[in-house]
Amino acid sequence: MAGKRLQAANAKKSLFLSAMKKTIAVIYSLAVISAVYACDDDPTHIHRRAPAIITPPSRQLDWGDINIIHTTDTHGWLLGHQKTSSPEPNYSGTFGDFSSFVSHMKDIADKKGVDLLLVDSGDLHDGTGLTDGFPPGGIDAHDSNEFFAKLPYDVLTIGNHELYVYNNTLDIYNNFIPKFNGRYLSSNANITLPGTSGTVPIGNRWAKFKTQKGRNVTALGVLFDFTGNDKGTSVQKVEDLVKEPWFLEVIKEEPALFLLAGHMPVQKDKWPVVFNAIRAVHPLTPIVILGDAHSNFLIIIHSHLGSGHSHIRDCTQLDGRSMSLQSGRYMETVGWLSAKLDDNKANKNITFTRRYLDPNRVTYEYHTNLTETDFDTSIGKSITTGLLALAKKFNLDFIYGTAPRDYTLNQDPYPSEGSALTLFIEDAVPYALALSNPRNNTPNFIIANSGSQRFDVYSGPFSKNDLLTASPYADPFFYIPSVPLSQAKQVLADLNKPSTANDLSDYGNGASPVKAADSNDTLGYVTHDSCPGDGDDTVHKALAQYNLPHYISSKPPNVSEQTPIDLVFINFIEPRVIASLNSIQKVKVYSSADAHQYSPVVLNQALGYYAIGHWNKD
């Protein structure tokens, strides 16, 4: 299915771009739309627009014997969040700034005589123009990964977004993983290499290494039971992984620390399976788990392709000698974990701390005790200028129109005028799919998975980067003709039905509680996790959060319930749509053969066409 998607997307991408170029009259410069930009005449000179109000951290970090800086779900946000609407400036640090921060923190660790490790839990693909804005024939995240690889990561692991498209997996196998000298871990994810029939681990199954201070670490990289992976890749179930003879052999020897990096939420998932397997052999050895925050939906998704957008800050402890941390998403959080180790002789609690840092220069300078004049390292600056050059090469400042207001995924209810999902499915998609479409005379009902949209749209110039940030997937639209409108509507209802006891969506209950906070606080994350004390590094007032349905639809056409219409959907959700159609009626057994391509327009073009048509007026 991914092959079908990729082919359709590539064939139409150049057509789309040339149409765009003819239509757009006004091109803004990066300086107009971005808080960080390079000089036109000197691309190595970084400019920053007057900084927005950024609240500094509330207190110093607690250091231990072993300390960890953690990133996860970066999804291409390597130039940080550059919009000025609150809370975006909280996350405005670039990956170059982050690199300078890491380098200074390593110096501090050296001076303190302690260890500092840098760990990433995966999902580097899909999410901004830097990953998805590549020209036809390119590979998602190939160029942005070059910058990621400039940081001194001690351990990295694979995410599900590295497995949706085989060519992306092959690219990281060939070009990214070799840069990490055996520290990119995929304990339960394999690839079949071209021209071969067997499978091999994508990265290393495990790593055993000594820290700067001579501590032995055994590291694993575990992916949740993901089943949406492309052909040519495979994921072993976590329960089976821990029975593998190699796994049992690797965990036999006792290290100073087990470091379990993984793309799996720290709560309500399979970490206890791995944890218990290790505890059965080593009842007292410290175990650190560094996870990512997929919602329950995503675990269900692969039978129920709903929204997976719940990458949040979280922490739990499976026992007193272990801590599990998940450090948000989209470079909105840098995680910090520290542990004061003991001799592992008695079952006493280890002193762990965790902190969720807002990744911006104020935070970075605060914790390194540096200022604007001495913070930047030369490698940090070169990463930022390199990323800006990549943005320019990918033409990410290309403007489709001017968005009249903010549209958010979670801060406005769905449906509503301010909902990014409403904008997408009720306005943008119907408009874009109707462009020169021979099916225009037949009414349609369009269904999409809400997880297909990944970020807010902010008022002001709407650039190619903004388009790909909101809607990165190049999935085509398919349709099944002659479905009675009543059945099409039932399909939507059926898809949104809670599918298992784990499905905790309470969509329809309105906004989840917003914690009352000091009215002087800036907006941002307000975290409630299961670890002791307060985790947020900077105090904020919480943003409103509305629950979303898994699936969303266009407005039904104004025809009778029995009128045959075109049931249009994103190809990515075809198996679910067909299964649902077959469950709600018995007249016909539908199969993939009944679904046809509806339009040359693909998912990540819809908002662009809409902006040209509606937001490009004087």
Ligand X SMILES: O=c1ccn([C@@H]2O[C@H](COP(=O)(O)O)[C@@H](O)[C@H]2O)c(=O)[nH]1
For ligand X, the closer CB: 125 or 205: 125
Asked whether position 76 contacts ligand X by CB under 6 A, the answer is: no
Helix (H, G, I), strand (E, B) or coil at 17: helix
Q: Single out the segment in contact with ligand X by CB under 6 A; choices: 31-39, 294-302, 478-486, 507-515.
A: 294-302
For ligand X, the closer CB: 274 or 298: 298
Helix (H) or strand (E) holding 542: strand 540-542
Residue 62: how many CB atoms within 10 A of its CB? 16
Q: Which of 308, 359, 476, 484 binds ligand X (CB under 6 A)?
A: 308
Which residues within the stretch 486-545 sit at the binding site for ligand X (CB under 6 A)?
none
For ligand X, the closer CB: 134 or 572: 572
For ligand X, the closer CB: 223 or 483: 223
Q: Which of 71, 160, 326, 553 binds ligand X (CB under 6 A)?
A: 160
CB of 449 to ligand X, least distance (A): 5
Asked whether position 429 contacts ligand X by CB under 6 A, the answer is: no
CA-to-CA distance for 278 and 282, rounded, in angstroms?
6
Helix (H, G, I), strand (E, B) or coil at 282: coil
For ligand X, the closer CB: 3 or 404: 3
CB of 552 to ligand X, least distance (A): 12
List the Cα angle 279/280/283 in 5-degree steps.
Answer: 50
Asked whether position 301 contacts ligand X by CB under 6 A, the answer is: yes
Task: Report the residue count for the chain.
Answer: 618
Q: Which residues contact 487 (CB under 8 A, 6 or more apart)?
A: 567, 581, 584, 585
Q: Single out the segment in contact with ligand X by CB under 6 A; choices: 237-245, 297-305, 320-328, 340-348.
A: 297-305
CB of 161 closer than 8 Å to CB of 121: no
State residue 232 phi and psi, 5-degree precision. Answer: 90, 0
Asked whether position 191 contacts ligand X by CB under 6 A, the answer is: no
For ligand X, the closer CB: 202 or 256: 202
Q: Single out the segment in contact with ligand X by CB under 6 A; choices: 302-310, 331-339, 428-436, 606-614.
A: 302-310
CB of 158 to ligand X, least distance (A): 12
CB of 607 closer than 8 Å to CB of 428: yes
Residue in 129, 88, 90, 89 with CA at minimum distance from that of residue 411: 88
CB of 137 to ligand X, least distance (A): 19
Q: Which two three-digit tokens encode residue 375?
A: 């913070």
For ligand X, the closer CB: 413 or 451: 451
Place of tokens 């309105």: 510
Q: Single out the segment in contact with ligand X by CB under 6 A; choices: 21-29, 138-146, 158-166, 193-201.
A: 158-166
The DSSP-derived string for 389-420 is HHHHHTTTT-EEEEESS-BBSSSS-SSSTTBH
Place of tokens 């009543």: 486
CA-to-CA distance for 578 and 594, rounded, in angstroms?
9
Q: What residue number has its CB nearest to ligand X?
A: 451
Question: Between the CA atoms of 552, 556, 557 and 558, what dihedral angle is there, to the nearest 10 degrees?
Answer: -160
**Within the chain, what is the greatest distance between any pair of CA atoms?**
76
CA-to-CA distance for 599 and 57, rounded, in angstroms?
49
For ligand X, the closer CB: 224 or 398: 224
Residue in 60, 26, 48, 163 with CA at minimum distance from that of residue 538: 60
Residue 521: how many CB atoms within 10 A of its CB? 14
Q: Single out the segment in contact with ligand X by CB under 6 A; choices: 134-142, 233-241, 445-453, 581-589.
A: 445-453
Place of tokens 């960080």: 36
**x-marked contacts with ligand X along 569-588 as a string, rule CB under 6 A:** ---x----------------
CA-to-CA distance for 538 and 527, rounded, in angstroms?
11
For ligand X, the closer CB: 227 or 583: 227
For ligand X, the closer CB: 333 or 368: 333
CB of 234 to ligand X, least distance (A): 18
For ligand X, the closer CB: 181 or 592: 592
CA-to-CA distance for 258 and 185, rounded, in angstroms?
14
Residue in 123, 169, 145 with CA at minimum distance from that of residue 265: 123
Q: Which residues contact 527 (CB under 8 A, 6 or more apart)?
A: 312, 313, 314, 356, 535, 536
For ligand X, the closer CB: 476 or 535: 476
**x-marked contacts with ligand X along 449-478 as a string, rule CB under 6 A:** x-xx--------------------x-x---
How many chain residues bind ligand X (CB under 6 A)? 15
CB of 421 closer than 8 Å to CB of 481: no
Q: Which of 98, 101, 134, 164 binds ligand X (CB under 6 A)?
A: 164
For ligand X, the closer CB: 64 or 549: 549
Q: Single out the segment in contact with ligand X by CB under 6 A; choices: 16-24, 87-95, 265-273, 300-308.
A: 300-308
Q: Which of 144, 307, 316, 444 binds ligand X (CB under 6 A)?
A: 307
CB of 527 closer than 8 Å to CB of 356: yes
CB of 13 to ligand X, least distance (A): 15
Asked whether position 305 contacts ligand X by CB under 6 A, the answer is: yes
Q: Which two three-digit tokens encode residue 582?
A: 């077959």
CB of 51 to ligand X, least distance (A): 30
CB of 149 to ligand X, least distance (A): 22
Q: Which of 279, 294, 354, 367 binds ligand X (CB under 6 A)?
A: 294
CB of 263 to ligand X, least distance (A): 8
For ligand X, the closer CB: 87 or 451: 451
Q: Which of 118, 298, 312, 339 binds ligand X (CB under 6 A)?
A: 298
CB of 350 to ligand X, least distance (A): 31
CB of 581 closer than 8 Å to CB of 491: yes
Q: Which two three-digit tokens encode residue 382?
A: 């070169």
**Residues in the site for ligand X, rule: CB under 6 A?**
160-161, 164, 294, 298, 301, 305, 307-308, 449, 451-452, 473, 475, 572
